[in-house]
Amino acid sequence: MCHQTVSLVSRHLEANGIPTVVLGSARDIVEHCGVARFVFTDFPLGNPCGKPWDTAMQREIVGAGLSLLESAFAPRSTLQTPYVWDPDPAWRERYARVSPEEAEALRKAGEARRAKQAKAKAEGRARSD
């Protein structure tokens, strides 16, 4: 979900008396929006609650959010979790990198999908799954 959208919704809810906590990975965006409470996890986008299948980490992060909801008395409270995605800082450069071969395969798959959708549309079908 878009960090900016969630942050603006959070601000609206807070303005109408509903307390919120944003769990996110885009610190610059969320803090710029000025949410009341923010739990920041320095992970790739889409993983603000922890690594996939690491339920212990996920519980800790959600628990940190609930604790922040209970304990934050100052506006714009940010809590940074202690977790790291990978001890090697180069993970950011490697994460979701697409090789030229993979890019070509993805391009071909996209073309095939668009052709299938165009055919379905021409035949009067709304979708082609």
Q: What percent of the chain has pLDDT over 90?
A: 78
**What does the pLDDT look like over 46-95, one tens digit per residue?**
999 999 999 999 999 999 999 999 999 888 999 999 999 999 989 988 88
Could you read off the pLDDT of 10-43 as tens digits, one per residue? 999 999 999 999 999 999 999 999 999 999 999 9
Report pLDDT for 23.
97
The b-or-e profile of 38-64 (16+ CB within 10 A means b, else e) is bbbbebeeeebbbbeeeeebbebbeeb
3-state SS class at 24? strand
Question: What local confidence, expressed as pLDDT, does residue 86 receive?
Answer: 93
Asked if 81 contacts 41 with a C-beta cutoff of 8 angstroms, the reply is yes
pLDDT at 94: 86
